[in-house]
Amino acid sequence: MATYLYRLGKFSFRHKYLVVAAWILVIAVIGGTVAATQPTFSKEFNLPGTDSQRATGLMNENFAAASKQQSQATTSILVAADDGLAAHSEQIDKLVAQAKTLPDVVNPELVVNPVTVAAADPSVASFVLGDNGHVGLIQLKQSIKIEDQTQANKTAFLALLEEFRTGGLQVEGTGSMMQVQAAGGLSEMLGFAVAFIVMIIAFGALIAAFIPLVTAIVGISLAILTVTLGAGVFDINQGVIAIVSMIGIAVSIDYALFIVSRYRSELNLGGSREAAVGRAVGTAGTSVVFAGLTVVIAMAALTVVGVPLITQMGLSAAVAVIIAVLGAITLIPAILAIFGRIAFSPRIPGVRHGDEPASLESNGHRWVKFVTKYPWPIALISLLILVIAALPMTKMELGLSFTQDEERPALSLLQRGFGEGVNGQLFVVLHAPAGTDIAPIADETVTHIKGLANVATPDVLMWQGNGTNPSNPNVGANSALIAVTPKMSPSGPETHELMNQIRDYQSTVSASGAELGVAGQTAIVADMSSKLSSALVPYLIVVVGLAFIVLMLVFRSLLVPLTATLGFLFSICATFGATVAIFQEGAFGLIQNTAPIISFLPIFMIGVVFGLAMDYQVFLVTRMREEYVHGHSAKEAIISGYTHGARVVASAAIIMISVFGAFMLSSETASKMMGFGLAAAVFFDAFIIRMIVIPAVMSILGDSAWKLPAWLDKILPNVDIEGEAIRLIPIEEDPDEDLVPVRV
């Protein structure tokens, strides 16, 4: 493979304008197709094969109006006053009058002052007025779907709330208008800015620092356009774009960083720039291809989870990684050719460039000598740190909430006046064959649910039928819908237990020839968590198994892939522990509003982090193997390979941490939590496992680290990741004087 990539690198260098034009043409064609066809992303969320999905289908079929109502935009206004809302009734009337004029509001006659409603009809007072008249609830319904809510609507709503927060009246909001996400871009820009600074330090030159950024922008643009175009053919959720951006930016910059760094090292050996590019792509490019392959495997294997959204995220991220690899081995050589001799200028004074003579010892060289001198204590201490960081993982709770921090005050009032579960209803659906009267089954089910713990207002619990008479739909119905409001939080264990108790009643219902299911967000979250948990082991087997084979091809060893995989397990457990401690337990006070871990985060993070962990393993350890194959002792190979690769791996890890960490600026909890988790994972894996534990363990293993059974050695193809074939090609100066290299 090294030889083919060597030729590809030289071809891209020699035909630089053709290669750049090809990339621009592809982007233009796909971009033009997207503009012409206007593909749209799916906004649906499905969990095929689950009880909640089946119940949702029954609800859509037999209770279309109620189902539609659940998908329509609804927002709640909470008002509160220490001296009682009755003292502020006139002010609330004005608030209600203006709320009716908000965009897309329907049924304005139902937008009313809770004080007035409670006084006029005491039977409904408990639904609109709580905490002894100190907290009130005003509901707004809109004629648009939740996913079609706009930033303009949110801005108008926030202005309304702010206007009436006077005279001791507290006014807060929660619901669809509050959950509109701000336009993205800040996270990506901050990630690029930090990456540029890191690359200036890494290369010691401005132009070289720009090159990875250029290829990353081109790569991520093409990836987003490709996924967007795919949305016109396949069912792709709009949420995948954030993942494509996050992964695409990180790996594009990283892969470019490794190619450009190796190019600079090859230039110092002499020969033409074209030959140096060929050698760089043939060696570092081979590592990039296999590193990218491990990430693609980890992402594509998310399909085994069986959750469409997770599958779409994984496959879309895999597309971004493939494009990043192609950009590194074709576009980078072309851009290096265009810049020619000025690629590593102007040099930044006072910044070490990573290619200093051997007489000038680097910090990486000093550190690896220390690690290989005391491998046992260093490895044990490092692993102990990760174990301590992983301890909070035992408290992990999974959940899914779209609540924004801005909604917390409203939720606090909602809990205070009406209970935690008022916005987390469970929808129990009963269905019997046509011609079967559902009434006796529904009556018995309602009676059963009334007797369960954690049911709010059981005395008003009733069922609604799908009969054809609008004035009395319970007559002649073969399906029934029961809306159950839990007392406790929708994501709490008590509500989860309530849902399971209701589902357990299926055995009684089925005896009557009917079926029972539970729909609603709480049920969906529970089913997704269960589905993800059951898929975790198969996913790990697929990912680790396939990646282990790839790593055996790369390193021609059994112990190196084994240590790489075990190291990943330590780093991912530490990451889970840190994420639980910060976001769920509120450690160090970094997060004001704690929440359960996003239910899909653990399995998705395993895929991403495993891929990235193997990236660093490949980049760092292949250089060690290269030195070992070329005659160095095991310890000398570790020291030499580490010295050459540590600076670049550290720079790449810092860039990754910056790109992922910048997503913590998002107002979306999922993006914030995922950004932190991925940044922490890169820190643990790159700086503790790959740069401390791995060289220490390999020093302990010595020559045995590189041994492979003879029978297996014959079976495995030789991919020549060390570039042995390239070493046989003489380094000759290019006859073109302008291309004769000078020391960079």
Residue-wise pLDDT tens digits, 27-65: 999 999 999 999 988 867 788 889 999 999 999 999 988
Q: Is residue 673 part of a domain?
A: yes
- Please state the rounded mean pLDDT for residues 244-267: 88
**Cis ω on the peptide bond leading into residue 48 (within 30° of 0)?**
no
Q: Is residue 101 part of a domain?
A: yes
State yes or no: pLDDT of 724 exceeds 70: no
pLDDT value at residue 185: 60
Query: Does one domain contain both 574 and 714?
Result: yes
CATH number for 507 = 3.30.70.1320
Query: Does one domain contain both 93 and 235?
Result: no
pLDDT value at residue 364: 86
State yes or no: pLDDT of 349 exceeds 70: yes
Q: What is the C-alpha to C-alpha distance for residues 274 and 570, in angstroms, rounded to an integer?
A: 42
Q: What is the C-alpha to C-alpha distance for residues 276 and 377, in angstroms, rounded to an integer?
A: 41
- Burial of 682-699, coded b for 16+ CB within 10 Å and e otherwise, reads bbbbbbbbbbbbbbbbbb
Query: Does one domain contain both 336 and 455?
Result: no
CATH number for 238 = 1.20.1640.10
Q: Is residue 528 part of a domain?
A: no
Q: Is residue 701 part of a domain?
A: yes
Among candidate residues 292, 230, 233, 237, the one with its CA nearest the CA of residue 259: 292
pLDDT value at residue 28: 97
Rounded to 10 degrees, what is the CA torsion of 344, 345, 351, 352? Answer: 30
pLDDT value at residue 737: 37
Q: What is the C-alpha to C-alpha distance for residues 517 and 427, in angstroms, rounded to an integer?
A: 8
Q: Are 305 and 601 in contact (CB under 8 A)?
A: no
Query: Does one domain contain both 342 and 365?
Result: no
Secondary structure (DSSP) of 16-48: HHHHHHHHHHHHHHHHHHHHHH----B-----T
Last residue of a domain, one of 179, 210, 237: 179
Q: What is the C-alpha to C-alpha distance for residues 681 and 670, in angstroms, rounded to an integer?
A: 16
When divided into structural domains, the chain yields a total of 4
Over the stretch 661-717, which tens digit does the pLDDT of each residue have? 887 877 666 778 888 998 999 999 999 999 999 999 999 999 999 998 888 888 888
pLDDT value at residue 184: 57
Higher pLDDT, residue 482 or 354: 482
Over the stretch 124-167, which tens digit does the pLDDT of each residue have? 898 899 999 999 999 999 999 887 888 899 999 999 999 999 99
Q: Is residue 588 part of a domain?
A: yes
Over the stretch 562-598, which tens digit does the pLDDT of each residue have? 999 899 999 999 999 999 999 999 998 878 778 888 8
Query: Does one domain contain both 666 and 713?
Result: yes
pLDDT value at residue 734: 45
Among candidate residues 278, 398, 355, the one with its CA nearest the CA of residue 13: 278
Among candidate residues 301, 307, 320, 139, the one with its CA nearest the CA of residue 237: 307
Query: Does one domain contain both 78 and 222?
Result: no
Helix, strand, or coil (residue 357): coil
Query: Does one domain contain both 309 and 243?
Result: yes
Give the neighbor-by-neighbor strand order of the sheet with 515-519.
463-465, 479-484, 426-431, 515-519
Helix, strand, or coil (residue 171): strand
Q: Are 318 and 289 in contact (CB under 8 A)?
A: no
Query: Does one domain contain both 251 and 342?
Result: yes
State yes or no: pLDDT of 243 exceeds 90: no
Last residue of a domain, one of 124, 148, 179: 179
Over the stretch 308-338, which tens digit does the pLDDT of each residue have? 988 999 999 999 999 999 999 999 999 999 9
Over the stretch 613-658, which tens digit does the pLDDT of each residue have? 888 888 888 889 888 888 889 999 999 989 888 888 888 888 888 8
Helix, strand, or coil (residue 359): coil
Q: Is residue 173 part of a domain?
A: yes
Q: Calculate the average pLDDT of the chain.
A: 88
Higher pLDDT, residue 184 or 286: 286
- Please state the rounded mean pLDDT for residues 180-199: 74
User: Residue 250: which pLDDT band, with cuts at 50, 70 and 90?
Assistant: confident
DSSP class of residue 374 equals S
pLDDT value at residue 318: 95
Query: Does one domain contain both 478 and 515?
Result: yes
How much of the chain exceeds pLDDT 70, in percent? 94
Higher pLDDT, residue 376 or 669: 376
Last residue of a domain, one of 519, 546, 570: 519
> What would the two tokens of residue 27 be?
């982007």
Query: Does one domain contain both 24 and 124?
Result: no
Angle (deg, nearest 10), helices 669-682 and 559-579 = 140
Q: What is the C-alpha to C-alpha distance for residues 177 and 151, in angstroms, rounded to an integer?
A: 8
Q: Is residue 59 part of a domain?
A: no
Among candidate residues 484, 586, 606, the one with its CA nearest the CA of residue 538: 606
Q: Are 132 and 109 in contact (CB under 8 A)?
A: no
Structural domain of 202: 1-38+187-350
Q: Are 535 and 606 in contact (CB under 8 A)?
A: no
Least confident of 109-123, 286-300, 482-496, 729-743: 729-743
Give the dihedral sign, CA 19/24/27/30.
negative
Query: Does one domain contain both 391 and 500?
Result: no
Q: Which helix (H) or strand (E) holds 640?
A: helix 634-661
Q: Is residue 617 part of a domain?
A: yes
Query: Does one domain contain both 560 and 698?
Result: yes
